[in-house]
Amino acid sequence: MPGEHAKWKAAAWGTVATVLLAVLIVAGSRNLAYFDAALVGYTFAVLFATFGVVYRYSMWLQRPPTALYWRKGWKLFLHPRRPGRNFVELAHRAINGFALNTFIWKRNWGRAAAHMLIMWGCILAAAVTFPLVFGWVHFASVPGRLDLYQAYVFGFPAQTFPVESITGFIIFHMLVWASFLVIAGVMLAMRRRMRDHGAAAVQQFGEDFLPLILLFAISVTGLMLTASYTWMEGYAFDFLAILHAVTVIFTLLWMPFGKFFHIFMRPAQLGVGLYKDAGRRGEQARCRRCGEEYASRMHVEDLIDVERRLGYRYEADVAGVEHYQWICPRCRRCMPALVQARIWNDGPAGAR
């Protein structure tokens, strides 16, 4: 169980992150001059989600195994002898592991396509929604030119574009494109969960179906808002706006506690990749029984240290072994059978 010190430390980090985001919202919207009061519910939900995510992330990083990977990952990345190569390796892993998800494509194309569509749809939606909600980006008509729109970023004028133009159409419908991507990805994911017997055997509603339902609800209600003011002359717009807000706010409030939290855990795996690469380059551990190489020496020594921090003691009384982790997995599987055979052969005659 985490100690009180760890909880207070995580709460402090969560508070700092929340306050910092609140300050950025006020400053980026020019003292709330460009902040839309109608979006205050979204803003408070984001602030709550920020505290929850940072709190849980801090607690996660304080666990001995995660803390070791986190500390060693940064140490290896900032090593003075390999700064350029480490940056190239990190960029390569970020592109293949995150942007392209190559490891999922190797498993199943349907699963990879669903993941890609949902991921990029959510990224696009977040990149548009959060700056608009926080007042960091807003649009206004150019004085004397009602056919032109001026984009403002943090209160500074940016791009000017005609309202009736391809640029304007793409910008103002960015969330529509994001919704289409997410809906397509959700449909593929739902198809897999209903047809794949292996996935169906282990899936849970809260971990597997609820995230997909929430993403689908956000996307559909957002599209219904667009349909209402585009083709239906605003029919039921107020109701749809409230319904959309409820789905978005619920998702934000649930984010620190549900499966969406893995979004924030994934980047830490970049450090794990650097750790494994450094282990392959370094000295290898040899089994104290058969003499074969089976892992990096750094990993075995770190694993022994983590086990001791967690209160597990696997020291061996056998001379030359010292610790159970210095035995390779193959020999570990053989040892119970060898011990049983020895007991059988050395036992009393009446026992056979």
pLDDT tens-place string over residues 218-246: 999 999 999 998 899 889 999 999 999 99
Tokens for 282? 């370094």
The mean-pLDDT minimum among 96-110, 113-127, 161-175, 326-340 falls in: 96-110
For the chain, give the mean pLDDT.
Answer: 89
Phi/psi-derived region of residue 252, left when phi > 0, alpha when psi is between -120 and 50, beta in every other case: alpha
pTM: 0.85
CA angle at 20 for the pair 18 and 22, rounded to the nearest 5°: 70
**Residue 249 pLDDT more than 80?**
yes
**Residue 265 pLDDT more than 60?**
yes
Q: How far apart are CA 82 and CA 256, in angstroms?
A: 36
Percent share of the chain, pLDDT over 90: 51
Percent share of the chain, pLDDT over 70: 98
153 DSSP β-pair partners? 137, 156
Q: How far apart are CA 163 and CA 158, in angstroms?
A: 15
The mean-pLDDT minimum among 52-61, 289-298, 337-346 falls in: 337-346
Which amino acid type is present at position 333?
Answer: R
Residue-wise pLDDT for 174-199, tens only, equals 999 999 999 999 999 999 888 877 77
Count Cα neighbours of 200 within 13 Å in the Cβ-side half-sphere.
8
Mean pLDDT of 36-52: 93
The pLDDT assigned to 164 comes to: 87
The mean-pLDDT minimum among 113-117, 261-265, 338-342 falls in: 338-342
Helix axes of 237-254 and 210-231: crossing angle, nearest 10 degrees: 150
Mean pLDDT of 93-111: 83
Are 303 and 296 in contact by the 8 Å Cβ rule? The answer is no
Mean pLDDT of 86-111: 83
pLDDT category at 91 given cuts 50, 70, 90 is: confident
pLDDT category at 351 given cuts 50, 70, 90 is: very low
Residue bearing the bigger pLDDT, 267 or 347 = 267
Q: What is the dihedral of CA 86, 87, 88, 93, to 10 degrees?
A: 90
The pLDDT assigned to 350 comes to: 43
Q: Which one, of 286, 288, 295, 285, lies nearest residue 322 by Cα?
A: 288
Q: How far apart are CA 276 and CA 73, in angstroms?
A: 9
SS3 158: strand
Q: Which helix (H) or strand (E) covers residue 265, if one does?
A: helix 262-265
DSSP 15-66: HHHHHHHHHHHHHHTTTTTT--GGGHHHHHHHHHHHHHHHHHHHHHHTSHHH
Q: Return the percent helix, strand and coil in the chain, to nearest 5.
A: 70, 10, 20
The mean-pLDDT minimum among 60-64, 71-75, 169-173, 345-349 falls in: 345-349
